[in-house]
Structures are given as C-alpha cells and as structure tokens.
Amino acid sequence: MMLPRRRILQLFAAATLPATSRSANAQAYPVRPVHIVAAVPPGNGPDIFARLVGQRLSERLGQSFIVENRPGADDNIGIEYVARAAPDGYTLLLIPTSAVTNASLYPNLSFNFIRDIAAVACIGRTPFVLVVTPSLPVTTVAEFIAYAKANPGKINMASSGIGSGNHVFGTLFALMAGVEFVHVPYRASYMPDLFAGRVQICFSPVELVIDSIRSGKLRALGVTTTAPLAVLPNVPPVSRFLPGYEAAGWNGVGAPKNTAAEIVELLNKEINDVIAEPAVKVRLDSLGIEPVALTPAKFGKLLADETEKWAKVIRAAHIKAE
C-alpha cells in the first residue's frame, strides 16, 4: 500500500525528533549550574583542585560549576550520590583515589563504581614518596629493605586510614620486598608522630612532605613513580631497587552512567584544555598533581586497571575495612 507523501513526512519527523532533541540539548549544555560532588571535606587537596578546575569551566562554558562537598563513609557517600543522580550532565563526581580501592574493601556497596560512573576526564596523577624519620639508619631503598628484613615487625608505617593510598602503596611494597610493617592508621594527621619517630615510615603524597624533606625533618628514599620527579630530582624511583613497583593516586571527573556522549566529550575537551593552561599547571603542580590529559575511554580503562590492581593487593594482604 502506498502512503501519501504527507504521511511519510510525518512518520519521518516523529522518528527523528527524539534524536534531534537529544542532540540539541547536548549542544546547548550547560544551561544551568553544574554540581561537582567532592567526597572530601572542604579544604582538602582534592577539594582545592576541584574548585580550581570548576572555576575555569565556569568561565569557559558560561555556567557555574559548583563544588558540593559530600564526605563520609570513606568517600562512598559522595560516590553513591552521583551514581544515583540523573545522567543529564548536571551532577558530576570528582573521582577520588579511594574509588578504585573501595570496591574491594566494601563488598556490599549498593553501587559498582566502574559500572555506575562514566569516566569523563582525568585531571592528574598524585605521586607519592617513601619517607623515613632521620633516626632510621638507612639512606636508600636497598638499605631500608635490608633493615626491615633484619627487624621484622619493628617498623611502624603511618597511613591516613585502612585502604588509603598510604596503606595500599606501602602494602604493595611490603609484599614485593618480602618485609613486614606494623600498620598504624590515623584519623587525624600522622605528621606529628612521624616527626617524633613514634612511626618510622610513610608512603606520603609528595606535596604533604616536600618541605619537611627539604628541611631535613624527613628523609626521602624513593618516589613511587617509575621516573624521578622534577620537585625531587635526586630521589630515585622505588622501582630502581624493586623492579615492577609503581603506585600513584589518580583524580578526575566522572558522571552517572548513560550521560550523553556529546556531554562527556564536551567536558573532556574542556577539562583537557583547562589542565593544559600554564597557570593551572603551575597551581596543580603546587598541589602535588601532575596534569594528565586522557580520552574518556583511556581514563575509563585506567580506572578499571587500577581497580583490578589494588583489589589483588587488598586480597593478598587480607585488608579489611573497619
């Protein structure tokens, strides 16, 4: 049966309208303020660079990008909030390093980070450094491993909590080197006890201890990245003494799954452009962040790979959340 020309045009318009509307909405994005959920309290390092990136996005896209702090439950409250949000691009997640370890620490979470959060853009990598109190009679990673083997269970390792970056990075070191540490998790700052020698070592974010290293209050033995850092040019990578060792924190931006690809691509381009700006790079460097631009697909693969890597460490060391 031949349909009238008008009817054919009506059917064609009906079929194409939803796609056209979606495309138009994505092209117009953002038309109202966007919330970036940070699962940390105000003033923390991740909160600071979230506000830095958010401010530049506001200026570039003409809408406010507001950082909304939702800390608690080892960052799971903020992550779950975004996982349950509408996938319209107006609720984003500042992805914390803990996102890739919590899946193994908390097997009964009501969300799956890799499945429920779409990777949008990486902001950067946070290098860590192995530091010891000056009273410890070691000056290199090799000497430290030998000392630890000769003194099993006598070295206290500070961290900011069970399953934190400090904890799992140090645990990977211990597993690979065949040594034992006494893990001492802190809810507040571990720095006073580290200075006093009550704990002897820590795998710390570089920016937290750089001044103490320069002043001689702490001794740096090795950085956790595979190449030396510009801010610590004389500190070798741990991998030089322990081949295959590598660890770093990662931060970026995510969105609820099923967020329109056009919105994800727009945000990815804008964030990559922001972290490439000289002034932003200088500020991120001061916060201990090495800017890293990745596509959504490559950032998603990085997060999946990191989740798998640290799951193996957590299982091997039988780490359990409190």
**3-state DSSP of 20-79:** HHHHHHHHHCCCCCEEEEECCCCCCHHHHHHHHHHHHHHHHHCCCEEEEECCCCCCHHHH
The answer to whether residues 134 and 234 belong to one domain is yes
H or E, element range at 301 = helix 296-316
Residue 7 lies in a domain: no
The answer to whether residues 118 and 187 belong to one domain is no
pLDDT number for residue 26: 56
Q: Would you say residue 5 has pLDDT above 90?
A: no
H or E, element range at 127 = strand 117-132
Residue 263 lies in a domain: yes
Each residue's pLDDT tens digit, 104-158: 999 889 999 999 999 999 999 999 999 999 999 999 999 999 999 999 999 999 9
Q: Would you say residue 9 has pLDDT above 80?
A: no
Domain finish residue from 240, 256, 282: 240
**What CATH number does residue 253 fall under?**
3.40.190.150
The answer to whether residues 166 and 312 belong to one domain is no
H or E, element range at 167 = helix 165-177
Which tokens go with 214? 């320069």
CB-CB contact of 241 with 141 (8 Å): yes
The answer to whether residues 196 and 139 belong to one domain is yes
The answer to whether residues 262 and 273 belong to one domain is yes
Q: Would you say residue 15 has pLDDT above 50?
A: no
Residue 50 lies in a domain: yes
- Burial, 131: exposed, middle or buried (Cβ in 10 Å; 0-12, 13-18, 19+)? buried
Domain finish residue from 240, 264, 296: 240
The answer to whether residues 276 and 297 belong to one domain is yes
Residue 3 lies in a domain: no
Q: What is the residue range of 83's domain?
A: 31-126+248-316
The answer to whether residues 117 and 148 belong to one domain is no
Domain finish residue from 208, 240, 272: 240
The answer to whether residues 148 and 111 belong to one domain is no
Q: How many domains does the chain have?
A: 2
> Would you place residue 286 in the very low, low, confident or very high pLDDT band (cuts 50, 70, 90)?
confident
The answer to whether residues 179 and 226 belong to one domain is yes
Which tokens go with 162? 């069970």
Q: Would you say residue 20 has pLDDT above 60?
A: no
What is the average pLDDT score of the chain? 91
**What CATH number does residue 172 fall under?**
3.40.190.10
Each residue's pLDDT tens digit, 170-218: 999 999 999 999 999 998 899 999 999 999 999 999 989 999 999 999 9
The answer to whether residues 277 and 234 belong to one domain is no
Residue 13 lies in a domain: no
Residue 4 lies in a domain: no
The answer to whether residues 146 and 218 belong to one domain is yes
Q: Region 228-238: what's the mean pLDDT?
A: 93
The answer to whether residues 205 and 222 belong to one domain is yes
Strands (E), 186-247: 201-205, 219-223
Between the alpha carbon of residue 279 and those of residues 60, 210, 243, 247, 273, the distances in Å are 15, 21, 35, 27, 12
- Gap between the Cα atoms of 72 and 66, Å rounded: 19
Each residue's pLDDT tens digit, 24-64: 455 689 999 999 999 988 888 788 889 999 999 999 999 99
pLDDT number for residue 7: 46
Residue 143 lies in a domain: yes
Look at strands 34-38 and 91-95 and give their pairing. parallel
Which tokens go with 77? 């409250």
Residue 103 lies in a domain: yes
> Would you place residue 261 in the very low, low, confident or very high pLDDT band (cuts 50, 70, 90)?
very high
